[in-house]
């Protein structure tokens, strides 16, 4: 019985070695990251339990580190491993986006922004600053909290764009509610920022709103 249990525990690793990572299920891949189980659950049971608790891999891996620390069965070591995995994904996408033309690779940009904002409990406003070839210079969070005309200051956006020698930019922020539909405040802020940046010959290409599993482009709606 002990030998059989040990064989089952090692199965994901053996399966990866013989068939490659694409052959593994999500619970099996997660089990490899977790490495060990916890009291009352072996590693496969723990992996399946976590996926069920978080309603899938995306929500689990995009949950804030502080929240993961409080989840039964994880603890500091496992929570840190999962958070590190998410950060590696972010950095891979960041490198991919940084080397590409935003206009010709919009899906990479959307994936990167989704990872950047996913799991945040408060609204954050960021700018994706671009050079003359529409390549990423930087993604910087400039404001936090409920976004309105009082909290988003055009002069700060203009100042940072000039400091980075940006030729254009994409405005982006999240809606923690999960609904990416733009509010009237979002529309007003977009127009205000666009007008301010036009004075210094910097173009606003889009304003993207990140919801739960979805990103809305205000440019595609004709709102930029």
What does pLDDT average to in each consecutive run of 10 residues of the chain (224 residues)? 45 85 88 86 89 82 76 83 82 73 72 80 92 90 74 93 97 92 93 97 96 89 94
Task: Give the per-residue pLDDT at 113.
Answer: 87
Q: How many CB atoms within 10 Å of residue 183? A: 13
CA distance 47 to 38: 10
- Detail the DSSP E strand segments found in 59-176: 124-130, 136-144, 168-174
What is the model's pLDDT at position 89?
79
Is the same domain home to 129 and 158? yes
Q: Are residues 206 and 111 part of one domain?
A: yes
Instruction: For residue 136, give its domain range.
Output: 101-217
Q: Are residues 105 and 86 part of one domain? A: no
In a shared domain, residues 22 and 41: yes
Give the pLDDT confidence score for residue 175 in this predicted structure. Answer: 92
Shared domain check, 184 and 141? yes
pLDDT score recorded for residue 2: 45
């Amino acid at each position: 019985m002990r030998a059989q249990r040990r064989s089952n525990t090692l199965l994901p690793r053996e399966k990866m070695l013989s068939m490659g990572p694409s052959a593994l299920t999500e619970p099996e891949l997660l089990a490899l990251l977790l490495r060990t189980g916890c009291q009352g659950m072996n590693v496969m049971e723990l992996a399946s339990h976590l996926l069920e608790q978080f309603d899938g891999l995306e929500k689990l891996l995009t949950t804030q580190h502080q929240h993961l620390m409080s989840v039964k069965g994880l603890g500091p070591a496992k929570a840190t491993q999962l958070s590190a995995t998410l950060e590696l994904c972010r950095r891979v996408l960041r490198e991919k986006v940084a080397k590409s033309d935003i206009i010709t690779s919009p899906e990479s940009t959307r994936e990167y922004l989704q990872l950047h904002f996913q799991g945040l409990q408060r609204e954050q406003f960021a700018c994706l600053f671009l050079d003359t070839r529409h390549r990423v210079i930087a993604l910087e969070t400039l404001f936090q909290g409920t976004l309105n005309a009082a909290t988003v200051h055009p002069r700060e956006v203009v100042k940072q764009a000039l400091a980075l020698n940006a030729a254009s930019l994409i405005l982006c922020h999240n809606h923690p509610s999960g609904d990416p539909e733009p509010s009237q405040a979002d529309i007003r802020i977009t127009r205000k920022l666009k007008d301010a940046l036009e004075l210094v010959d910097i173009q606003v290409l889009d304003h993207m709103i990140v919801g739960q599993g979805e990103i809305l482009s205000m440019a595609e709606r004709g709102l930029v």
